[in-house]
Amino acid sequence: MTVTDSKGSQVIIHCDMDAFYASVAELDDPTLRGKPVVVGAGIRGVVLSANYAARKFGIRAAMPVGRAKRMAPNAIFVSPDHHRYSEISAKVMEIFASFTPFVEPLSLDEAFLDITGAQRLLGTPREIGEAIRKRVHQECGITCSVGIAPNKFIAKLASGHCKPNGLLEIKEERIITFLHLLPVSDLWGVGPKTAEQLERLGLRKISDIANTPLETLKRALGDATGEHLYELSWGRDQRDVIPDEPDQSISAA
């Protein structure tokens, strides 16, 4: 259950490790720092993570390793070490839990934190976010990006827009200004098929969806999807932070 302060508003943080697998490789082998690093095994395997130097060549997670090697033949390719990733992830999650008991891991390298009730003891949302980033770097040797907002959807968007190694706070009064300039593909739940449907409707920015009548969206996309995207287009997300165990997946951050 989400905890709210005396004013009834909640504060959610989304913490996302930067290029997690590649960052752990650099942590364990400092000679890799500053070089393009790609984590992925075998020519027929797929890229699990690429650091930001490698991404400049267009390399992305889920790309075939063989293709990545053609794109950046001088990049350093390392094999994954899942035991090590789990070890670092456990330390990161312990740090999160020291700030609030309301931690919802999404994968080994990211989580939502409800810090609403922590503010009186630990400071402003920005101060808490910076403290988390500092401890992750000092105690785990890697960096994370932190998004802060009144709900999970906007917090996750914020962390994605301050990568790598940044912090972005979107307060209630800034949500619409921030959100409506973004492409529809940034909406939670919009995959390639839905994006294609929205493109056919001439809906390219989130503001386009927000300014389309709800009934029109329902007719075009179905009741559930239409209402879901309409609510998100106005920055509304009622999901609580639910403490749980990580699902052992990894994001492409």
* Rounded distance between C-alpha atoms, residue 144 and residue 138, angstroms: 11
Long-range CB pairs of 227-234, under 8 A, 24+ apart, other chains included: 228/189, 229/184, 229/187, 229/189, 229/190, 229/194, 232/153, 232/187, 232/188, 232/189, 232/206, 233/179, 233/180, 233/187, 233/206, 233/207, 233/209, 234/176, 234/210
* Rounded distance between C-alpha atoms, residue 239 and residue 107, angstroms: 18
Q: Which residues, 6+ apart, have CB-to-CB distance to 10 below 8 Å?
A: 2, 3, 4, 114, 116, 150, 151
CA distances from 5 to 14, 19, 120, 204, 241 (A): 19, 34, 10, 36, 15
DSSP conformational letter for 173: G
In terms of residues, how long is the chain? 253
* Rounded distance between C-alpha atoms, residue 249 and residue 85, angstroms: 11
47 token code pair? 């890229």
* Rounded distance between C-alpha atoms, residue 41 and residue 78, angstroms: 7
Active-site residue list: 110
